[in-house]
Amino acid sequence: MATSRGAGGGAVLGYVASRKNLAGSACGVAGVGLALAGGAGAHWPVVVAALYGAGALIAPPERPPVPDLPDPHEQLALVRENLARLREYLAEAGPAPVGGKLAALLELYEALLDPGWAAEVLAVDPEAVHALDRAIRLDVPECVDTYHRTRWWTRWNPGGESSEQHLERQLAVLSEEAEKLTADLREAEARRQRTHTAYLEERGRS
């Protein structure tokens, strides 16, 4: 009950300080002034209430506070931490038959996250950061985990497509995604360079 009363009190205090109440109160005060001047007659309470309601209705709605989103560089720092945890997990999980492809994929991830101009380009692309974090935090661990689990069961029930083949196909897809991400970031830098070239040439002609 105390929590309910506290929540209700907070709502009341919030409305008291809201734009609607302030606008309505201003119009209501104007109505009181009109009544004192004799312009509202015997029905002045109704006039004051109507003016208050009209002011509350025409007041602009409350704007929700801007969310406190993490800084892009803070996001990249978290992704770097996830990559370090991924490396620790892979060391504990044991070797995989496509270790070379897995190592190459991790090196590409690390190069994209390496502090410097590459990370600066990555930081301004939230979708790219999300895709990279998803691959590091979810996709690669799932690929390796399901490989080791399936390989254990295959010992007792051999046959069918091998777990090694599935792992190789999964890493191939992740490698293609990482290469496309790298190409998109490279194209973003190329567009920036072309734009600056066009600006300098235009400035030179003028």
Q: What confidence tens digit (pLDDT) does each residue in 172-198 have?
A: 999 999 999 999 989 988 998 999 999
**81 Cα distance to chain centroid:** 18
Position 164: which residue type? E
Res 14 pLDDT > 70? no
- Residue 205, pLDDT score: 87
Q: Which residue has the higher pLDDT, 131 or 153?
A: 131
Which residue has better confidence, 84 or 36?
84
Q: What is the pLDDT at residue 104?
A: 94
The pLDDT, as a whole number, for residue 68 is 62
Answer yes or no: is pLDDT of 26 > 90: no
Distance CA 204, CA 206 (A): 5
| All residues at 6 or more sequence positions from 170 whose CB lies less than 8 Å from its CB, including other chains | 139, 143
Mean pLDDT over all residues of the chain?
80
Rounded mean pLDDT, 100-104? 92
Which comes out higher in pLDDT, residue 54 or 73? 73
Sequence spans of domains, the chain:
2-58, 72-205
In the predicted model, is pLDDT for residue 9 greater than 60? Answer: no
